Each structure stands twice: as C-alpha cells, then as structure tokens.
Amino acid sequence: MLEQQLLNALTLGSVYALFALGFTLVFGVLAVINLSHGAVFMVGSYAALAMVSHLNAPLWVAMIGAMVVSGTIGLLVDVLVLKPLRARNAPHLIPMIATIGVGIMLTSAAQGIFGAEVLRFPEEIMPMGDFMVGEVHVRALEIAIVAIAFVLMAVLFTLLKRTQLGRALRAIAESPKAAYLLGINVEGLFHITSFAAAALGGIAGVLIGLNFNAITPFMGQPMLHKGIAVIILGGMGDIRGALIGGLFLGFAEVISKAYLSSQMGDAVAFGLLFLILLVRPSGLFGRKLERKA
Amino acid sequence: MSVLLRVHDLAVAYGHIEAVKGLDFHLNEGEITALVGANGAGKSTTLLALSGLIKASRGKIEFQGEDITRLPAHQIVEQGLVQVAEGRAILTTLTVEENLLLGAYTRQDKEGIPASMEEVYQLFPRLKERSQQFAGNLSGGEQQMLAIGRALMAKPKLLLLDEPSMGLAPIVVQEIFRILVEINRRGLTILLVEQNVRQALKIARHGYVIETGKIVLADSGANLLANPKVEEAYLGG
C-alpha cells in the first residue's frame, strides 16, 4: 500500500541524495565528473562490513570507519590522479576518463579481496525495534538511514551556507581565479572536498548495503548511473538540486516499481528524468552560469 | 621613503610568447603608482605574476624585502599583497556581505573583522544597503566598489588594481578614483594599472608606461601627464 511504499521511497531517496551530494560537490568545486564515485560507494560498504565482521566493531564505529576509508580513497584519487592532471592543464575529458580507470581498479580490487559473491551484514548488528504505524511496518533501520542521511546533509548545507570554509568552496565553484586572489588555498580545499565527497559516498554505500543487506563489488555501477541522473536533474554542481533530485529518483523508482511494473521501475524512473530534462535542460536548479577562468 | 615592492627583470611567457619581457620597477610605501599602457601591453600579466597566478619565467619580485617570486598565490595574499582583478572580480552567487567576509579569509585577527566591515560600509554606504543581496545584482560601479571593499577586508599592505575604471560611466570612475585617493591618504600603498591614462596619472605620484612587455617611460605622474610622448600616444594628442 501507498504509505509503506512512501517510506521505502524516502529511505532510498535520501540515500540517493546523499550519494549525489558528494558527486555534485566535486563537480561544483573541482569541475570534474568523478566517475569513481560509484566504486567509492561500494568500498564504503565493504569497509563497514569488514569492520563489523572481522573487528567486531559496533555498527556506528564501522560507519565512521567506512567514511574515513572511502574519504581517504577520495583524497588519494585527488592527490595521485586529479592533481597531476590539473598541473598539466588536461582537458576536461581526461580526468573523467582517469576516474573511470580508478573505478575499475577499485571494483577489481574488491572482487579480488572479497570475492564476487553477495556478502551480507550479520543479522545481530542490525538496529532493533521495528514498529507499526497504523498499517505501515517501520523498520528501525529505515529510520536510522533517513536520520543519518538527513543529519549529514544538514551538516553539509550549514557548512556551505554559514562558514568561511563553505563560502570559500562556493567562491572556488564560481571562479577559481577569484578564490586564489582572496588568499584561498584552492589546492588544499580541493583535497578537503575530495575527502568529504568520498566520505559521503562511502556512508551512502553502507546505508544501501544495510537497507538491502547485499554487498557486491558491482553495486557501485547502477548507483553511479543514478547519481549522474540525479545531479543532471538537479542542476550540475547544485547541492539543493542533488537533494531534491535524489528524493525524486527514489520516489519515482519505488512508486513505478510498486504500481506500474516491478521489472521496469528503473526504465520508468529514468524516462521521467528524461522528460523533465526536455522541459528544463539545465536541470531543476541549474543556472546558465558560465564558469569564469 | 622605503621601497615596499621591488621588481627586477620580471619576464612572463605564455608558451613561447613572452608577454612581459624583463620589467624593472619599484613601489614606494604609502604612494600611488600607476602602470599605464595600451591594451595588450602586458599590464594584467604583470599583475597576475605579482599575485602568483602566473609564474615568472625570469626575474625576481621582492615584497617587504622578501623574495615572493615562487610563493603560491594564497601565501602572497597572506603577506599582504592583495589584488582587485580586472572586470567583474566579485562572486556573483554570494551576497555582498559574504563577499566581504571572504575578503578577510587570510586574516588572523578574527575579532577585528566587524570593525573592518564597518569601515568598508562607511567608505561605500551603498554596499551596506545591499549587504544581503546577491553581488550579481549590483550595478557595475557597485560591483567595483565591492571588489575594492573586499580587498580592503584583507587589511592589505599593498593593493593592486587592474583597470578599476573598465566599463564604468565617467561619473562612477570619478567616484572610484576619489575613494582610491582617500584610502591611499589613510596609508595604503596602491599600484594602479589603467588604460585610462589621464585619470591614473592624475592621482599617481609615480608612473610607468609599458609597451609590448617593456617599460618605456618612468617618471612622476605629473611629468608623465605633461610629457608630449605620453600625450601623443595615450591622451589623444
């Protein structure tokens, strides 16, 4: 019934939004479409699983650990891959292609280390205390997922809106030259952004891994496609857009699966996205903003 | 009169093309110095090199007696050398107030920032009225005022201005130059780069004329204004 589906949609949509936020943040600040973001999402999932099952870490510790691991990978990608390309003034496509390579490397590494089969979190670490609201079966896990996603998003929004760091990031997004002349350590903030974005991607991986309780080395790829769709829908580089777009995709996917066709849910969701883009080619919040030198 | 900035044999190349071909000049502390010349003479390139946005291919830049030629851009700002870039240098997607706050990005004395902000608002009352508006909605003159005000928020020791008169109505240009004289009178050293040669030389103590990447004349502002060669080439005879 509808209420149950809405809860599913909210859960899924908030994780999509979280994933897309990191994605769009990197695009906004570094002007790079980082196609390793899906693989980083997958790494976050495995990192949490490894900490829970091999180190007996409590789930919340594993979540923080997963953010640190995936964030570190994001930072390394920036330092080892993107920075040398920036220094050589590589054309826009080059870093994008390079990050595809990073994604493939991470996926193969996960396959090599953990195998290709589906892994699951042990049942006993799942948050307990499911309850009923009317007819709706509410899992404690879903509440936790939505809460974590929204708290992290609220932190990010506040940071960007209210702090000097956030203003500096917005300055870089509009004009790196202006940012340099303000005394902003642009390279340093590229590193911070890459870490934070990958950490958000990683925690999204943990949340999806928990929600469906299925972790595979290939789980990043469909997520990457959804992330791309979400940030294009929301307007490239726009964080409000990523939030709204993520929720939209979650609802479109769940509702069309439930009421139209369980097989073709993704097709319907992506078809809707396409229709919206026909009407608003720059996305919901996209401005026709030319980036200055 | 102590020298605040000394540039020795500065050259900048874009690929194989040398845009600046060995400049020697200096700025005295507390003075307005003008660097004037035609479009494409290498003025903006010189300023970008001083701020560290383009690396010098040769030569040396000394600021307060220290070699800053190889410093990254953000550290040059930290030293107190702040540039108001050419054209619309402000951040249009941020509010006026946010632009000003970012101007203070390198400031260590956080508690002094509100006072500086008040000072800027006193200098440019219109910015105060519009403090919560997006900077992109300001008029051209207001944007230039914001760019200057934002640079002042850094508490600079040297202010570089790249064509502050560009694209502005004459009356607004007058206003901007009046304010530049005012902030110089309060003790700030200024390097003014201009195509608007007459205006610039009027307020400058010293001036340098640059042509195709080289300094061809150096004199006091008044002497340059009266110089027939300058008059012929830049002031329309």
User: Measured between beta carbons, which residues in chain B are less than 8 angstroms from residue A180?
Assistant: 51-53, 73-74
- Rounded to 10°, the helix A220-234/A239-259 angle is 120
Task: State the pTM of this model.
Answer: 0.91
Nearest in space to B104 (alpha carbons), one of B86, B91, B87, B117: B117
ipTM of this predicted structure: 0.93
The average confidence (pLDDT) of chain B is 94
Q: Is residue A88 part of a domain?
A: yes
Supply the pLDDT for residue A287. 63
**Mean pLDDT of the region B111-118:** 96
Pairing of β B58-63 and β B32-36: unpaired
Cβ–Cβ < 8 Å for A20, A230: yes
B/e letters for A231-270, b = 16+ CB within 10 Å, e = fewer, are bbbbbbbbbebbbbbbbbbbbbbbbbbbeeeeeebbebbb
How many domains does one find in chain A?
A: 1
Q: What 3-state class would DSSP assign to B53?
A: coil
pLDDT of residue A129: 82
Which residues span the domain enclosing A41? 2-116+125-219
Higher pLDDT: B46 or A261? It is B46
Q: Is the CB of residue A168 less than 8 Å away from at least one CB of chain B?
A: yes
pLDDT at position A270:
83
Which residues of chain B have a CB within 8 Å of the CB of A182? 77, 102-103, 105-106, 150, 154
Mean pLDDT by 10 residues, chain A (293 residues): 90 96 95 96 98 94 97 98 94 94 97 96 87 88 94 95 96 95 97 98 96 95 93 88 93 89 81 84 69 49
Contacts of B150 in chain A (CB under 8 A): 182
**Would the pLDDT of B32 be above 70?**
yes
CA distance to partner chain A, nearest, from residue B232 (Å):
35
Evaluate whether residue A250 is within a structural domain: no
Alpha-carbon span B131 to B127, nearest angstrom: 6
Residue A186 touches partner B, C-beta closer than 8 Å? yes
Question: CA of B188: how far to CAs of A12, A115, A207, B9, B80, in Å?
Answer: 57, 66, 55, 25, 11
Residue from A119, A90, A103 nearest A35 by CA: A103
**A237 lies in some domain:** no
| Any domain includes A153 | yes
Residue A127: other Cβ atoms inside 10 A: 15
Among the partner-chain residues A168, A185, A187, the one whose CB lies closest to the CB of B102 is A168
CB contact under 8 A, B89 and A181: yes
Q: Which residue of A has its CA nearest to B74?
A: A183
Helix (H) or strand (E) holding B211: strand B206-211
Q: Is residue A235 one of the residues assigned to a domain?
A: no
A147 in a structural domain = yes
With CB atoms and an 8 Å threshold, state whether B101 touches A164: yes
Question: Cα–Cα distances in Å, from A17 out to A227, A245, B20, B179?
Answer: 8, 7, 49, 48
A88/chain B closest Cα distance in angstroms: 13
Quick check: is A204 in a domain?
A: yes
Residue A62 belongs to some domain of the structure: yes
pLDDT tens for each residue of B181-237:
999 999 999 999 998 999 999 999 999 999 999 999 999 999 999 999 998 888 775
What's the Cα-to-Cα distance from A58 to each of A62, A65, A119, B96, B199, rounded to whole Å?
6, 11, 18, 47, 70
CB distance B105–A182 less than 8 Å? yes
| Cα-based torsion angle of the residue sequence A145, A147, A153, A155 in order, rounded to the nearest 10 degrees | -130
